[in-house]
Chains A and B, each alone.
Chain A
Amino acid sequence: MNRITTLFKKQQQEGQSGLLNVYFTAGFPEANDTLRVLTALQNSGADLVEIGMPYSDPVADGETIQMSNDKALENGMTVKLLFEQLENMRPAITVPVLLMGYINPVLQFGIEDFCKKCAETGVDGLILPDMPMDVFLDEYKPIFDQYGILNIFLVTPQTTEARIRQIDAISEGFIYTVSSASVTGSQTGVSENMEAYFEKLNAMELKNPRLIGFGIKDHATYSKACEYSAGAIIGSAFIRVLAEANDLEKDIATFIKSVKAPSVATA
């Protein structure tokens, strides 16, 4: 069974509280930091990790992640190099690993070659925000299925109920719940509007668990999101930590622990 599916099943069986999914950009701050950051995240208590494939034109991302994309590309990151960096991550890395990015670099690599590489390196899922659902279903789903790669879809406050149900029906793993109408990194908290939207999603009794992302930056926003879902996704706030880090392992540990349980971090 896919590590993502297993993780959520285990969470449900054991009544474990909110899972933390952390995003970082591959090849940031330095080209060779990918595995180092991934390892530090696992050691610090991240439950899933989402590795961003840097892209020249990330339209769904705000300034912080754009900056990390630009820096990673300057550092020479490519999809090919990323797979080389991840080649021997298993078995030391036990957490589910997802790749997030835009579809064009994946198309240039070749969808089938890409999924095959994911399976070989132990990548469990993909998040490709600009891949349309109909194209996925018509052209790519059989390939994803063949290699056991899950495709994670997004829903937003503007997504209609009918479309949410459609997404739920074809999703496996989890549904990425975008907290508000925005690009990444531009939100400041969890508002009452968002809570109403999260409650609406809960009431729909979807078959897939949900992780809430966009605007999650600290313990308060993380725990708020966890009240309404299986967990939360942190992106831009973590990129800022990486950008300012003096000691990667230590600063990653301090931040992740402060998000999950602030008392531990200050101890």
Chain B
Amino acid sequence: METTVANQPYQVNEKGYYGHFGGAFIPEMLYPNVENLRDNYLTIIQSPEFQKEYNDLLRDYVGRPTPLYRAKRLSEKYGTNIFLKREDLCHTGAHKINNTIGQILLAQRLGKKRIVAETGAGQHGVATATVCALMDLECIVYMGALDIERQAPNVARMKMLGAEVRAATCGSKTLKDATNEAMRHWINNPEDTHYIIGSVVGPHPYPDMVARFQAIISEEIKWQLQEHTGKENPDYVVACVGGGSNAAGAFYHYLDRPSVKLVAVEAAGMGVNSGHSAATTALGKPGVLHGSRTILMQTDDGQVVEPFSISAGLDYPGIGPQHAHLFASGRGTFLSATDEEAVQAAFELTKLEGIIPALESAHALAALGRLGAGPNDTVVVNLSGRGDKDMATYMKHLD
């Protein structure tokens, strides 16, 4: 995990901003909790005792380091050198647990007795329920009613792990609405509850804290790529972005290496201009969502637009403030992939490499043909999760 004090143009500044984006746009009811977190998170996570427990759990419980796999047949197909960072092999099936392990250890040190979380695809919900079982803390997960229907296996896992899954029935009944409900729950329970946000969104310090817990991804990529190729910097790092936590982790140690192209792939849904999309940077404008100034999809009147994606984990109308800064500053390249392109990419990876990716990660794979990467280039794709939870969707496309 990254613990050095950030003093770089793409990292959070002392006021909690990434360029114009970030901050803590929260009602007064949340202020004391967020302030408590802001004042303590760095001290706690930088302590040697925390570091030891966190790193031991990542190794022995999560199964880190995850492999960096050279995908030979996929590389041949695209005429470049593709490596897959296998976050899909983490315990619980995605990168999400890197963050929940960190935050549960933090919650314990803040004396919290109960955990609340939001979830989209259910991966963060499962990762949160898992660490709550591990640490014997009460766990409440808000999930959009629509997502509860389309991610049934993860709902069952959360319940078996002892979490209470509560349906968010307002709005589009997806991730945005689950996040609203989790924030309301935190407002109603300010003393004993810690809110484990699953992505690099929310008020400062969440985007920075979650990015630090996910930074292990690029920390490992550096030495693993060195072992594979003799150099630690790839030419491209590619990751999908909903809120953007796996991308934030995969980009983290390359932010200040301008030779490394950072490629974020958003969900275009049925097409960027179809009216059924979640391609935030293509469709959004600066504004405030879930406690931070960022880029979000909204009407001229400032109402948040309901996003659409086949992938519940990318079905979100905003992006983390750091990603908004990477987009606005030009440091990041933002592409998008449609539902159909993502499904095709998932089948392609399965056929060529025997790996069934999560629908979210399939969006990153769908951008491979559009990078412009040549035979001398090295491309790292963050394979953020595995596809078990998406089998019902994939089965529909099997013929």
Chain A interface (Cβ < 8 Å from any Cβ of B): 55-57, 59-60, 62, 66, 70, 73, 78-80, 102-109, 129-132, 134-135, 153-156, 158-160, 163, 178, 181-183, 186
B29 touches A178 (CB 8 A): yes
B188 touches A155 (CB 8 A): no
B188 touches A182 (CB 8 A): yes
A57 touches B28 (CB 8 A): no
Q: How far is the CB of B189 from chain A (nearest CB, A)?
A: 7
B32 touches A59 (CB 8 A): no
Given A57-B304, A79-B302, A107-B302, residue A130 in contact with residue B288 (CB < 8 A): yes
B174-202 contacts to A, CB under 8 A, are: 176, 180, 183-184, 187-191
The stretch of B1-9, B18-26, B275-283 that contacts the partner chain = B18-26
Within 8 Å CB of B79, what residues of A? none
Q: How far is the CB of B283 from chain A (nearest CB, A)?
A: 15
Contact of A56 among B29, B171, B188, B285 (CB under 8 A): B171
Residue of B nearest to A130 (CB): B25
Given A60-B187, A183-B188, residue A105 in contact with residue B31 (CB < 8 A): no
Contact of A181 among B24, B170, B187, B298 (CB under 8 A): B187
Residue of B nearest to A79 (CB): B301
B287 touches A183 (CB 8 A): no
**Beyond A104-B287, A181-B189: 9 further Cβ-contacts under 8 Å?**
A60-B29, A78-B301, A104-B296, A104-B304, A107-B302, A132-B23, A154-B27, A158-B190, A181-B29
Residue of B nearest to A58 (CB): B180
With most chain A CB atoms within 10 A of its CB, the pick from B180, B287, B288, B300 is B288
Within 8 Å CB of A134, what residues of B? 15
A to B CB contacts below 8 Å, 9 in the list: A59-B27, A59-B290, A104-B296, A104-B302, A104-B304, A109-B302, A134-B15, A154-B28, A183-B187
A103 touches B28 (CB 8 A): no
B29 touches A158 (CB 8 A): yes
Within 8 Å CB of B189, what residues of A? 181
Residue of A nearest to B286 (CB): A107
B184 touches A55 (CB 8 A): no
C-alpha spacing A104/B23, complex, angstroms: 14
Q: How far is the CB of A206 from chain B (nearest CB, A)?
A: 15
Given A59-B180, A182-B187, residue A105 in contact with residue B29 (CB < 8 A): no
B301 touches A106 (CB 8 A): no
C-alpha spacing A59/B176, complex, angstroms: 11
The reply on B289 being an interface residue by CB < 8 A is yes
B187 touches A130 (CB 8 A): no
C-alpha spacing A135/B291, complex, angstroms: 13
Interface residues on B, range: 35 or more
Contact of A159 among B28, B187, B302 (CB under 8 A): B28
Q: How far is the CB of A23 from chain B (nearest CB, A)?
A: 15
C-alpha spacing A102/B301, complex, angstroms: 12
Residue of A nearest to B183 (CB): A59
C-alpha spacing A104/B294, complex, angstroms: 11
Within 8 Å CB of A78, what residues of B? 301
C-alpha spacing A107/B301, complex, angstroms: 9
Q: How far is the CB of B80 from chain A (nearest CB, A)?
A: 41
Residue of B nearest to A107 (CB): B287
Q: How far is the CB of A53 from chain B (nearest CB, A)?
A: 9
Contact of A160 among B24, B32, B176 (CB under 8 A): B32
Q: Interface readout for B317-333 with A: 1 if CB under 8 Å, 0 if not?
A: 00000000000000000
C-alpha spacing A210/B176, complex, angstroms: 34
Within 8 Å CB of A59, what residues of B? 27, 180, 183-184, 187, 290
Given A107-B302, A108-B301, residue A57 in contact with residue B289 (CB < 8 A): yes
With most chain B CB atoms within 10 A of its CB, the pick from A56, A80, A134 is A56
Residue of A nearest to B285 (CB): A108
Within 8 Å CB of B191, what residues of A? 158, 181
The reply on B274 being an interface residue by CB < 8 A is no
Given A66-B170, A107-B288, A186-B188, residue A132 in contact with residue B26 (CB < 8 A): yes
Q: How far is the CB of A98 from chain B (nearest CB, A)?
A: 16
A105 touches B27 (CB 8 A): no
Q: How far is the CB of B158 from chain A (nearest CB, A)?
A: 23
Within 8 Å CB of B183, what residues of A? 59
C-alpha spacing A66/B181, complex, angstroms: 11
Residue of B nearest to A81 (CB): B301
The reply on B47 being an interface residue by CB < 8 A is no
B187 touches A132 (CB 8 A): no
C-alpha spacing A265/B25, complex, angstroms: 42
With most chain A CB atoms within 10 A of its CB, the pick from B24, B25, B176 is B25
Within 8 Å CB of A154, what residues of B? 27-29
Within 8 Å CB of B33, what residues of A? 158
Q: How far is the CB of A71 from chain B (nearest CB, A)?
A: 12
Residue of B nearest to A66 (CB): B170
C-alpha spacing A80/B301, complex, angstroms: 8
C-alpha spacing A107/B296, complex, angstroms: 13
C-alpha spacing A78/B176, complex, angstroms: 21
Residue of B nearest to A67 (CB): B170
Given A57-B289, A73-B303, A104-B289, residue A153 in contact with residue B298 (CB < 8 A): no
Given A59-B180, A160-B32, residue A132 in contact with residue B301 (CB < 8 A): no
B188 touches A159 (CB 8 A): no
Q: How far is the CB of A129 from chain B (nearest CB, A)?
A: 4
B346-393 contacts to A, CB under 8 A, are: none
C-alpha spacing A108/B290, complex, angstroms: 16
B25 touches A155 (CB 8 A): no
